[in-house]
Structure 1
Amino acid sequence: MSAMYFVAAGSVLALLFAATMFARVKKEPQGTPQMAKISAAVSNGATAYLKRQYKGVAIFFAVVFVILLIMAFLGFLSFFTPFAFLTGGFFSGLSGFIGMRTATMANCRTANAASNSLNKGLRVAFSAGSVMGFTVVGLGLLDLSIWYFFLHFWYTAIDPVASQEILIQNITSNMLTFGMGASSMALFARVGGGIFTKAADVGADLVGKVEAGIPEDDPRNPAVIADNVGDNVGDVAGMGADLYESYVGSIVSTSALAVAAGFDMQGVGVPMLLAALGVLCSILGTFFVKTKEGASQKNLLAALRTGTYISSVLIAICAWFAIHWLLPAEHATGVFIAVISGLAAGVII
């Protein structure tokens, strides 16, 4: 139970850091009036698309919610299942929306910063990208924390269950459901945004390069705006929702496997605590992403990798202490090796 307080603190820390990065990027100058005008056009188009998409998705979620509610009344599901489905979809969509708004706000600011200083441009772009990253993990851990504390309170104070094992099974089975809601939102956001961005990209190329004979992304081609709108709704908003689904899905599935393996609450706490510690290690890693003037693309990529390597080493150290704190000694070493192998595979890929 004590590990969950660290998880809640990690969610708050991630969201505060995301808000700080957002404010920092927003303070940067937008550049010339033409840059600000183009940025506003892209932002307005992306917002209009998401509003229309979310209206359609809302109908789907309303229908599924009613179906799940009927199944709950018939005794096939827990009454918490329909509401967990809704929260998963809501936070998934919110992650993508915040990331998209940040990206459309940061594009002209990044271009303006890069025209003055390469390192400044990298810092503005990286800060803007980190907003969605930390928003995804912050909202994911917040959703996990809220549901865990609520369900723990419900099954201990309102509706006590027979044993600690049944308590944990009830909590994890209900928490798995909001992963389904997040997956549903990610499906619509990723597929819908992907179709839009491909259609806009091909359309802009046909009009510009084929019909008008001008270069790709030429400012004289108004379809370029639609192309950039598609990039934001597909590669940012869609990716944000997809990342949220993958993030919370991996945590709750690992927690459920831990319960099945007989680790009870200690096993549930391991993946959640590692996620919270990952927030802190990632924040520390961001401060090492910088480069010098005149750097090549190789140098820029090396700067990004430096942040990844430092964060990876830090989380590996933290994982050893966290796992040995929560799990019995005879199981801790094996789990730690599994964590390190997964971490190494991610870095290598």
Structure 2
Amino acid sequence: MKTLLYVAPLAGALALICAWWLAAWIYQNQTGTDRMQEISSYIREGAMAFLFREYRTIVIFGLAMFIILTFAIGIGTALTFLLGALFSIFAGFFGMRTATSANVRTAAAARNGMQQALKIAFRGGAVMGLCVVGLGVLGVGGLLAALGYENANLLTGFGLGASSIALFGRVGGGIYTKAADVGADLVGKVEAGIPEDDPRNPAVIADNVGDNVGDVAGMGSDLFESYVGSIISAITLAVAMPEVDPLTGSLFPLVLASVGIVASIIAIFMVGGKKVSNPAKALNAGTYVSGAIVAVSSFLLSRWFFGNLSAFLAVAVGLVVGILIGNVTEYYTSGDYKPVRGISKQCETGPATTIIDGLAVGMLSTVWPILLIVAGILASYYSAGLYGISLAAIGMLSTAGVVVAVDAYGPISDNAGGIAEMSNLPHEVRQITDRLDAVGNTTAAIGKGFAIGSAALTALALFVSYSQIAKISSIDLLSPKVVGGLLIGGMLPFLFSALTMKSVGKAAFQMIEEVRRQFRSNSKIMEGTESPDYAKCVDISTAAALKEMVFPGLLAVVSPIATGIVLGVEALGGLLAGSLVTGVLLAIMMSNAGGAWDNAKKYIEEGNHGGKGSDSHKAAVVGDTVGDPFKDTSGPSINILIKLMTIVSVVFLPLFMRL
């Protein structure tokens, strides 16, 4: 059985080899005209410059945490923390390098039809997906093989490193992209009346750069953290719970994740392999095929490892709940269904009713995901106990390779549309990229649904690990300290969201003022005879994002440590419970409301309710602008917040228990 410890590192290596092959294939495709290559170079250089500056800022935090962990917990946890942080950085870096090369090649391929354009965009996203699962399984599996399950507690350091980078990446990238997006939309579309991605808009390059730093690098680090967090929670529970054999319980999630990698690779090579007329169906088919392979494999593995089907049932519950949450998310965020079309109808009466209806849709969209998560928790618990909850989280993320690929495909398609517009390619090309982009908006919303659902299950599994290690059998709601912790925890997602929303607002204010200044001071920009100063707008977003991401990131780390030291272990348990409840609800509401506003705008731009340039369209742009930080900054960052606070609590628990 111990020889299976090496399966996971081998599967991780296989994923990275496939990612390298896909990247090499992408680079073989044409890059289009000189103008297309020029615009693509602006986007790539801006994205990589931001990433390097962001990582330099994060290094300071990483070194500080390394020193604190060394003295407070031990050098072993501190070293695994550094490894987790590095692997998370690598996942975001490699994925974004490929994405910023795939965008121009997608636009070039769209000149000859949809099939090749879809294939390039999806494979560009697949590089990120395979880097996420490959590095995740390689890191966790390699550490377990080297350290043995007896030292599985050191894996929490790896998870802490991944979570820390994910939060800074999501918040920093989210502030960057939305500052640029809001500035480009409000001044360009609403005030100047120019189309989206018009080269006369000074913020247009920053907007396209933001798609990569927020929705590719940030999202990749986010799902890397979710993926490794779910595996680590299962391993720590297997070691902490006497009713689970530690070796078998540790190996099962790693072997299952390895099967998920193989399933994801098969599904990735299926998409784009034949002529497609509906890109959404092609992408969904890949998700379903990989899910089916994992389901069958988990049935066989459960019989082999445990002699029964309890583990299979827990994994199957996670798979089904993940897919259903994705379907619910699609219903509330796709222009094909009633909620988004209802918002677009409200746009006829102005921005106020647009925002009211969008908020209502976001709130309504929490009902079914929460009920599904509750059903998943109960079903997985009754299948395999507390260990089953962690297996359900793994089941939900077992096909993360495909989920991330589909998610990262969206910003690549969006960039391709921007390059097509700025390069004055024929209208038919932009129609193809717009269709790919519209699907990408929905798939991105589905990916966020997966991330939030898995965050709830993973945070709960880590919370169970916390209670097992702390020897807490129940949380006393009559204890004043516990109630205090519960209320503080419930408040933190709101405080965190307020900080990130205000950060976007402040950065967007600077961007709007700069775009207006350029239009006022140089009339040749609107005439199209002189190019605007793109670099200035890129610099504004970069500086604002790096400045504003620090405090929200520190809040997530400091809050549980301060609570554990001042109020004690049980009060910290209350804090984690409170943040889990409000955090999951707020994340779902914000992500889905933002996605719905975005696609309501796109539905109008297709010619409905007056089409582009109409009063309805202007109202929809305002709604989309409000929704931008909802869906791309605050909403997706909250799921990292609740997991980061939980894993910080688990890592620092020995310190709290000594006090």
**TM-score, length-scaled by structure 1:** 0.89
The Cα RMSD (Å) is 1.5
Pick one of 264, 267, 276 that aligns with 1:282.
264
Q: 1:100 aligns with which of 92, 96, 105?
A: 96
Give the 5 Å matches for 1:1-349: 1-71=2-72, 77-152=73-148, 168=149, 170-259=150-239, 260=241, 261-290=243-272, 295=277, 299-327=278-306, 329=307, 332-348=308-324, 349=326
Could you tell me which amino acid in structure 2 is paired with residue 318 of structure 1?
S
Shift of 1:291: 7.3
Matching residue of 1:160: none
Q: How far apart are residue 292 of structure 1 and its match?
A: 6.3
How far, CA to CA, are the matches of 1:314 and 1:209 in structure 2? 46
SS of residue paired to 1:29: coil
2:270 aligned counterpart, secondary structure? coil
The CA distance in 1 between the partners of 2:35 and 2:178, in whole Å, is 26
Structure 1: gaps spanning 5 or more residues: 72-76, 153-167
How far apart in 2 are the matches of 1:84 and 1:207?
46
How far off its partner does 1:121 sit? 0.8
Deviation at 1:314, TM superposition (A): 1.2
- Judging changes above 3 Å, is the alpha-carbon distance between structure 1 residues 121 and 47 closer, same or farther for their aligned structure 2 residues? same
Counterpart Cα distance in 2 of 1:287 and 1:97: 23
Letter aligned with residue 126 of structure 1: F
Aligned counterparts of 1:336 and 1:140: Cα–Cα separation in 2 = 22
Gaps in structure 2 of 5+ consecutive residues? 327-659
Deviation at 1:318, TM superposition (A): 1.2
Q: 2:321, 2:36 → 1: CA distance? A: 41
- Partners of 1:263 and 1:189 in 2: CA distance: 37
CA distance in 2, matches of 1:205, 1:302: 30
Cα distance per residue 1:251-290 (max 9 Å; x no partner): 0101112222422100101111000011111111123213
With the length of structure 2 as denominator, give the TM-score of the two structures: 0.48
Q: Is the 8 A contact 2:80 2:161 kept in 1?
A: yes
C-alpha change, 1:323 and 1:293, in structure 2 (3 Å) is closer
Look up the equivalent residue of 2:195 and give its one-letter code.
P
How far is 1:215 from its partner?
1.5
Instruction: Give distance in 1, aligned partners of 2:44 and 2:259.
Output: 34
Q: 1:212 deviation in Å?
A: 3.0
Farther off after superposition, 58-67 or 257-266: 257-266
| Contact 1:207 1:223 survives alignment (8 Å) | no
Q: Is the 8 A contact 1:291 1:303 kept in 2?
A: no
* Greater alpha carbon shift after TM alignment, 36-45 vs 218-227: 218-227
Q: Identity percentage over the alignment?
A: 48
Between the aligned partners of 1:171 and 1:137, the Cα distance in structure 2 is 23
- Do the aligned partners of residues 9 and 293 (structure 1) sit closer, same or farther apart at CA in structure 2, a change above 3 Å counting? closer
- Do 1:117 and 1:293's aligned partners in 2 also have CA atoms closer than 8 Å? no
Q: Which runs of 4+ in 1 moved over 2 A?
A: 209-213, 290-294
1 CA distance for matches of 2:281 and 2:276?
Answer: 14
Match of 1:80, SS state, is helix
Contact 1:110 1:121 in 2 (8 A): yes
Give the distance between the partners of 1:124 and 1:141, measured in 2 at CA. 26
Aligned residue pairs: how many? Answer: 322
Bigger shift: residues 40-49 or 77-86:
77-86
C-alpha distance in 2, partners of 1:30/1:238? 25
Provide closer, same or farther for how the CA distance between residues 292 and 178 of structure 1 changes in structure 2, counting only shifts above 3 A: closer
Q: Distance in 1 between matches of 2:274 and 2:145?
A: 47
What are the superposed Cα offsets for residues 104-127 of structure 1, whole Å, 9 maximum, x if unpaired?
111010111122131111111111
Larger deviation, residues 256-265 vs 16-25: 256-265
The answer to whether the 8 A contact 1:95-1:135 is kept is: yes
Q: Report Cα offsets for 1:149-176 as digits up to 9, x if no partner.
A: 2213xxxxxxxxxxxxxxx3x4221111
In 1, the alpha carbon distance for the partners of 2:78 and 2:55 equals 19
Are the equivalent residues in 1 in contact too, given 2:6–2:142 (CA < 8 A)?
no
